[in-house]
Structure 1
Amino acid sequence: MKAYDVRGVVGVDLTEEIVRALGAAFVDEVGATGGTCVVGHDMRESSPGFARAFAEGAARRGANVSVIGLCSTDETYFASGAWNAPAAMFTASHNPAEYNGIKFSRAGAQGMSLETGLAAIRDRALAYLSGDIDAVGHEGEISERDVLHDYAAYLRALVDLTPIRPLRIVVDAGNGMGGLTVPAVLGTAAGLAELPIEILPLYFELDGTFPNHEANPLEPANLIDLQREVVAQGADVGLAFDGDADRCFVVDEQGQAVSPSAIAAIVALREIARVKALGAAEVVVLHNLITSNIVAETIVSAGATPIRTRVGHSFIKDEMARTGAVFGGEHSAHYYFREFWGADNGMLAAMNVLAELGAHPEPMSGLRERFSPYALSGEINSTVADVSTALARVRQAFSSRAVEDSLDGLTMIGEVASDEPFWWFSVRPSNTEPLLRLNVEAADNDTMSLIRDEVLTLIRKDS
């Protein structure tokens, strides 16, 4: 169990026996006996068998299981929200082929973390593994149901792409589930009307061995093929999806990557304008603590209220529900939408970007430049011998020239004069490894580089 999902090596950490017990424990925890639960899976070789075993365990504890088969993670959120049913998605997202995992949702696509249910599921599953899964009086039924058309139609209803100028887009699905969802939502594969979009496909074949590159667009090396193809094809924009297609990354027509912070700012503007046009007076938008300052600045300039959050899927979902936020953005390219039950949806973010790009003659590079005014380091991981000692060194070195913020790790915000370049950095410990994760932002690249190098020296002193 990780902080907000299950992840492990197939045959070692995850077996069908373990998964069957998890299915039974999940039904117990969410109270789905006599009700419906949803099970979906990605294209990994182990996923169909795991989904079947999970459904068996869930049915034994009395849940009626709707198996939606091959799907993206946000398709399971759609089913969970539309049917108000708990859901489980079998995927290891961007992890290598030997991994698999489970993403859980309560009814209404609500998130789950160790503190809000995953620990209880783990403990119940351990009990079932040491004995038998007791059947309830009436075992549930397992049925199959396809949601792709309804999912695609729902997204089309949220973002109207019919009036945009014609766009040529290269899409790198990374052999992941984007190869199924992109033709359905942006094309005609689900029986929907044709849009003014020409899709130039890259690695749409579903293949859980990831023969071309890892399905992790957060790593720059995995964007190279997309960047090259966008320029070679003279495309307007490029999109890259991760393995379960819940995250989307953007490349402009020059082949330059557009930061997730810039995308968050662009989508935030659109969502704020949309709800204000419907009469909303108070609008809230979330951003996690390591997005660029441009995100909060954009939210404020649009007349909305930014709320800064911890990093992490379930934490942001909880905050979306608590605050009624219309949108939330993370540095990792997870984008959350109130009209999608507060869940994250990479396709919906991509559609907003295409709508903005297609509504004006300005190229994607112009949008990138407009919403990327500051210098960002990107996330830098360091293995350390002692996390607390390394953090103490950093805190002591900067205590006299920065304001400390302890939300989710250590954030230091530079105290600078009005004519000096701003800077801040965040150092967060990993939940599972002896790692510290550094993110730095500054007004210019020279300042960012100086702060970055100083902090890294302190972090790695004893490594």
Structure 2
Amino acid sequence: MTNNQNSGPLDLSASFKAYDVRGIVGESITEEMVEAIGAAFVDTLELTGQTVLVGGDMRPSSPSFCKAFARGATLRGASVKLLDLISTDELYFASGHFNSAGAMFTASHNPAEYNGIKMTRAGAVPLSSETGLKEIQELTAQYLASGIPSVPTPGQIGIQDVLKDYAGYLRSLVDLSSSRPLKVVVDAGNGMAGLTTPAVLGDQLLSALPLEIVPMYFELDGTFPNHEANPLEPANLIDLQAAVVAHGADIGLAFDGDADRCFVIDEKGDPVSPSAVTALVARREIARARATGEETPAIIHNLITSRAVPELVEADGGRPVRTRVGHSFIKAVMASEGAVFGGEHSAHYYFRDFYNADTGMLAAMHVLAALGEQPLPLSELGAEYEPYVASGEINSTVEDKAGAVAKVRAEYEHDGVSIDELDGTTFSADSGDWWFNLRASNTEPYLRYNGEAKDRATMESVRDAVLALVRG
């Protein structure tokens, strides 16, 4: 390879991010670059003589990128097992189960022209710019400039299917066999849940469960012909909401493109907030951990999740741990705290039993189990987990983000309000009536507002007052 990394499409700074690699195919991420990344991955993690797991999602570029990464890795002496089409949490399972480093080709919910790489150390330990990704970038640049040197004994490339093992492992963690019959509409968004849902919840590979699955957009299609595979955007839930009501279903599940996030819809077609899902799953995981003798199981929640989460965790005998936003950071805190479970407002759910990694499917199974073991509909079951009214995330275009936050601080910095800067700036009424957080985007001129209050009138009053200061 002779291309310099600074030549247009091979500008690595355009594709290497804080927690992964991603870019536009053929422009900021290319096969040549991916081959060099595969070699740099092996060298940085000292994987010569070991096995690396490589898989990808349904995007048109994923198969060729997987093979390019494998070529680079084997040139540096690692053997590669190609896992073929997988979800991101399948890679985490395989990395933990086989104790091998791995790479997943996906751009999650991004449009079809994008692809990227999520990389893990053995045991599903994530990589970030602070834990190896920067070194991989530097070595990739070197290999792009001068070529990849081959070791005397290159590695071999093989193929391995992990879908049945993955499905069986998830079923061993949540037993749905005794659930009351449930009708479940699943919107896979033409993403990887179209492959994993029949394997885990259906009878494709394992015995049938008392679930009637109504499939939506299960065809694997990385061009996303129906809607973006991003359930965080309300517009992408409309089809599922209508289908749940039309089919008289008990619940709806929406997955993102690489199927590591899951959103839940109740029988009325209304979304169940990720905070409510976090609280519901936390209750189940605390009870299970305490039943085995663990006195105060730790539950991770980021600072944007509802205050209902730490309140319920404490009431159930758990120990809430409040963290910054971000999956690689939360996985590290999961490990350091020995936490049994963690949840984010963005619908990422982390499990100690899943190698501290996030899996939307396992969270969905917990919700199905909680629904199926009692007679109430999901709207009533979930009501106790949503006692507050949330604003949702609101972006304001602000050039002077620090100045805007300073204006808000000047208004709210007084007795009766606590302020902390764990992640952005959080303002909390000591009365417990409301809180809000302002976080600056690292990549765009946005200041993000998230807030919550005891009732809608209070939430709207605080929201409007703060946004007037921010945008004024």
The residue that corresponds to 2:463 in the other structure is 452
Distance, in Å, in 2 between the alignment partners of 1:397 and 1:24 is 53
Q: Residue type of the partner of 1:458?
A: L
Distance, in Å, in 2 between the alignment partners of 1:448 and 1:275 is 35
Q: In the TM superposition, what whole-angstrom CA distance separates every residue of 1:112-133 from its partner, at most 9, and x where no partner exists?
A: 2111111111111111111111
Distance, in Å, in 1 between the alignment partners of 2:79 and 2:438 is 45
The residue that corresponds to 1:45 in the other structure is 60
Matched, 1:348 2:362: yes
Q: In the TM superposition, what whole-angstrom CA distance separates every residue of 1:106-155 from its partner, at most 9, and x where no partner exists?
A: 11001121111111111111111111111122111111110000000000
The alpha-carbon deviation at position 391 of structure 1 amounts to: 2.0
Matched, 1:254 2:268: yes
User: Which among 70, 95, 98 is matched to residue 83 of structure 1?
Assistant: 98
Worse-matched range after superposition: 398-407 or 308-317: 398-407
Matched, 1:408 2:426: no
Distance, in Å, in 1 between the alignment partners of 2:459 and 2:278 is 21
User: Which among 97, 100, 116 is matched to residue 112 of structure 2?
Assistant: 97
Matched, 1:173 2:173: no
Q: Residue type of the partner of 1:440?
A: G
SS state at 2:428 partner: strand
User: Which among 140, 162, 175 is matched to residue 160 of structure 1?
Assistant: 175
Q: Residue type of the partner of 1:33?
A: T
SS state at 1:115 partner: coil
Distance, in Å, in 1 between the alignment partners of 2:132 and 2:468 is 39
Matched, 1:17 2:32: yes
Distance, in Å, in 2 between the alignment partners of 1:379 and 1:56 is 42
User: Which among 34, 42, 64 is matched to residue 27 of structure 1?
Assistant: 42
Distance, in Å, in 1 between the alignment partners of 2:27 and 2:408 is 38
Distance, in Å, in 2 between the alignment partners of 1:130 and 1:286 is 43
Q: In the TM superposition, what whole-angstrom CA distance separates every residue of 1:171-196 from its partner, at most 9, and x where no partner exists?
A: 00000000000000000112x11000
**How many percent identity over aligned positions?**
62
Off by >6 Å, runs of 4+ in structure 1 = none
User: Which among 426, 429, 437 is matched to residue 437 of structure 2?
Assistant: 426
Matches within 5 A, 1:295-334: 295-334=309-348
The residue that corresponds to 2:154 in the other structure is 139
User: Which among 438, 444, 462 is matched to residue 449 of structure 2?
Assistant: 438
Q: In the TM superposition, what whole-angstrom CA distance separates every residue of 1:399-421 from its partner, at most 9, and x where no partner exists?
A: 125211100111111234xxxx6
Q: Gapped runs of 5+ residues in structure 1?
A: none
The residue that corresponds to 1:292 in the other structure is 306
Q: Normalization by structure 2: what TM-score? A: 0.95
Q: In the TM superposition, what whole-angstrom CA distance separates every residue of 1:185-235 from its partner, at most 9, and x where no partner exists?
A: 000112x11000000000000000111110000111100000000000000
Distance, in Å, in 2 between the alignment partners of 1:54 and 1:318 is 26
SS state at 1:427 partner: strand
Distance, in Å, in 1 between the alignment partners of 2:151 and 2:400 is 48
Q: In the TM superposition, what whole-angstrom CA distance separates every residue of 1:334-367 from its partner, at most 9, and x where no partner exists?
A: 0000000000010000000000000000110012
The residue that corresponds to 1:57 in the other structure is 72
Distance, in Å, in 1 between the alignment partners of 2:273 and 2:392 is 9
Matched, 1:367 2:381: yes
The residue that corresponds to 2:10 in the other structure is none
The alpha-carbon deviation at position 428 of structure 1 amounts to: 1.1
Distance, in Å, in 1 between the alignment partners of 2:282 and 2:190 is 29
In the alignment, is the contact (CA less than 8 A) between 1:108 and 1:341 conserved in 2?
Answer: yes
SS state at 1:207 partner: coil
Distance, in Å, in 2 between the alignment partners of 1:457 and 1:62 is 59
The alpha-carbon deviation at position 432 of structure 1 amounts to: 2.0
In the alignment, is the contact (CA less than 8 A) between 1:27 and 1:63 conserved in 2?
Answer: yes
Distance, in Å, in 1 between the alignment partners of 2:46 and 2:381 is 46
Matches within 5 A, 1:237-248: 237-248=251-262
Q: Residue type of the partner of 2:113?
A: E
Q: Gapped runs of 5+ residues in structure 2?
A: 1-15
Distance, in Å, in 2 between the alignment partners of 1:381 and 1:23 is 37
SS state at 1:169 partner: strand
Distance, in Å, in 2 between the alignment partners of 1:459 and 1:290 is 19
The alpha-carbon deviation at position 434 of structure 1 amounts to: 2.1
User: Which among 393, 397, 400 is matched to residue 407 of structure 2?
Assistant: 393
Distance, in Å, in 2 between the alignment partners of 1:2 and 1:451 is 34
The residue that corresponds to 1:4 in the other structure is 19
The residue that corresponds to 2:222 in the other structure is 208
The alpha-carbon deviation at position 8 of structure 1 amounts to: 1.0
Q: Residue type of the partner of 1:215?
A: A
Q: In the TM superposition, what whole-angstrom CA distance separates every residue of 1:84-122 from its partner, at most 9, and x where no partner exists?
A: 111110000011111111111111001121111111111
The alpha-carbon deviation at position 431 of structure 1 amounts to: 2.5
The alpha-carbon deviation at position 78 of structure 1 amounts to: 0.6
The alpha-carbon deviation at position 170 of structure 1 amounts to: 0.2
Distance, in Å, in 2 between the alignment partners of 1:386 and 1:18 is 36
User: Which among 254, 269, 280 is matched to residue 266 of structure 1?
Assistant: 280
SS state at 1:88 partner: strand
Matched, 1:217 2:228: no
The residue that corresponds to 1:108 in the other structure is 123
Worse-matched range after superposition: 394-403 or 140-149: 394-403
Q: In the TM superposition, what whole-angstrom CA distance separates every residue of 1:8-64 from its partner, at most 9, and x where no partner exists?
A: 111111000111111111111212111011111000011111111111111111111
SS state at 1:250 partner: strand
Matched, 1:338 2:352: yes
Superposition CA RMSD, Å: 1.0
Worse-matched range after superposition: 384-393 or 89-98: 384-393
Q: Normalization by structure 1: what TM-score? A: 0.97
